[in-house]
Amino acid sequence: MFKKLILPALLAAVTVFPSGSARAGDDPDFLTLAVGKFDILRNREEDAEIRLDYRFGNKFWIFKPFLTAAYATNTSSFIGAGVLVDIYLGRRFVLTPQFSPVYWRGETSKLDLGYALEFRSRLELAYRFDDRSRLGISFDHTSNAGLADGNPGVESVMLNYSVSMDTIKGLFK
């Protein structure tokens, strides 16, 4: 489904909004805190999730690297690194597709993702403030891409706040 729907939409957006992506060149590194609901679609686990990302401002072609760590209250955790693309929809809105391989830990009686190596795909829509901080909502899908016999996948919906590292560093001057 990802290849049939999301990938063509991402490629179309990058093609349609190239000038918006160029404005990302002045973006600093960001620290993103996200909180939300884990396993939103199937509700096998009634849990909250908290995630912390470090998003680098440097671009490699259109991609920016990021580091991610997440914890769900069912004791599942994820840690990994990936790439993202900031697609500017005007001055205020930023659409950010992300992809990261992650190490997963936390099998429970109701949820087993099937393999320690999982892949997280995320789509975030955020409002960009004058200080470049962002407030947005994201949808994550995590699965092992068929590496194991079972591949149930899990989805999360998160509220995200990204603050520039310049702002954080300014607090300590």
Residues 99-156 pLDDT 10s: 999 998 876 666 777 788 999 999 999 999 999 999 999 999 988 888 878 777 889 9
Q: Is the pLDDT of residue 163 over 80?
A: yes
Tell if the pTM clears 0.75, that is, is over it.
yes
Q: In angstroms, rounded to a whole number, what is the distance separating the alpha carbons of residues 151 and 133?
A: 36
* Residue-wise pLDDT tens digits, 35-50: 999 989 887 777 899 9
> Residue 158's closest CA among 126, 136, 133?
136
Provide the residue type at 126 as one letter.
A
Burial 70-98 (b: 16+ CB within 10 A, else e): bbbebebebebebbbbbbbeeeeebbbbb
User: Which of the pair, 27 or 157, is modelled with greater confidence?
Assistant: 157
| Phi, psi (rounded to 5 degrees) for 37 | -105, 130
Q: Report pLDDT for 108.
A: 64
Q: What is the pLDDT of residue 25?
A: 52
**Rounded Cα distance, 85 and 12, in Å:** 13
Domains of the chain by start residue, with CATH: 2-60+78-170 (2.40.160.20)
Instruction: Please indicate whether residue 170 or residue 163 has the higher confidence score (pLDDT).
Output: 163
Other beta carbons within 10 Å of 155 = 16
Whether residue 7 is predicted with pLDDT greater than 70 in this model: the reply is no
The reported pLDDT for the residue numbered 109 is 62
Q: Provide the 3-class DSSP secondary structure of residue 5.
A: helix
